[in-house]
């Protein structure tokens, strides 16, 4: 299975948060699954740290690449096709990070590991 982690899923994975569902945890741990982390999540984490929303995770932005690699996850860059799709969704959903993750999930044929019900509006294949 090819999975893309939503930002909250990635944060819960990094902190071993019990909010991460047992099915999601098992799928991430399963070495036969390919796990991707979007550049949009790096952007979202950096933005949230800048405004003080992730004070309990100091240095996460500076160690982002190292932490993703340590878990054996693959970085998923944002390309122009992702950007065009994210901008073209006709939904009123205004979160640019969600729009990008939905577009990447769709274009790259990745199931998005998320608890966020907003992604059903995009028609995103989700897993939780």
pLDDT score of 4 more than 90: yes
Per the domain annotation, does 29 fall within a domain? no
Residues 128, 126: Cα–Cα separation, whole Å: 7
Number of domains in the chain: 1
DSSP H or E segment with residue 86: helix 80-88
pLDDT in tens, 50-103: 999 998 888 899 999 999 999 999 999 999 999 999 999 998 888 999 999 999
Per the domain annotation, does 22 fall within a domain? no
Residue 44 confidence class, pLDDT cut points 50, 70, 90: very high
**What's the pLDDT score for residue 2?**
98
Per the domain annotation, does 95 fall within a domain? yes
Per the domain annotation, does 93 fall within a domain? yes
pLDDT score of 10 more than 90: yes
Q: Is the dihedral of CA 69, 7, 21, 91 positive or negative?
A: negative
pTM above 0.85, yes or no: yes
Tokens found for residue 74: 């693959």
Question: SS3 sequence, 10-66?
Answer: HHHHHCCCCCCCHHHHHHHHCCCCEEEEEHHHHHHHHHHHHCCCCCCCCCHHHHHHH
Per the domain annotation, does 111 fall within a domain? yes
**What's the pLDDT score for residue 93?**
87
pLDDT score of 123 more than 90: yes
Per the domain annotation, does 17 fall within a domain? no
Per the domain annotation, does 60 fall within a domain? no
Q: Which domain holds residue 111?
A: 80-128
Candidates 23, 53, 46; CA nearest to 97 is 46
pLDDT score of 14 more than 90: yes
Per the domain annotation, does 8 fall within a domain? no
């Amino acid at each position: 299975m090819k999975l893309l982690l939503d930002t909250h899923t990635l944060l819960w994975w990094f902190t071993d948060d019990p909010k991460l569902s047992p099915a999601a945890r098992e799928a991430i741990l399963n070495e036969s699954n390919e796990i991707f982390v979007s550049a949009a999540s790096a952007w979202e984490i950096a933005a949230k740290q800048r405004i003080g929303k992730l004070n309990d995770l100091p240095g996460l932005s500076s160690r982002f690449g190292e932490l993703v690699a340590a878990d054996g996850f693959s970085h998923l860059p944002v390309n122009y096709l992702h950007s065009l799709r994210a901008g073209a969704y006709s939904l009123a959903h205004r979160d640019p990070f969600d729009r990008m993750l939905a577009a990447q999930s769709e274009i790259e044929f990745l199931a998005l590991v998320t608890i966020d019900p907003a992604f059903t509006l995009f028609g995103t294949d989700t897993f939780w």
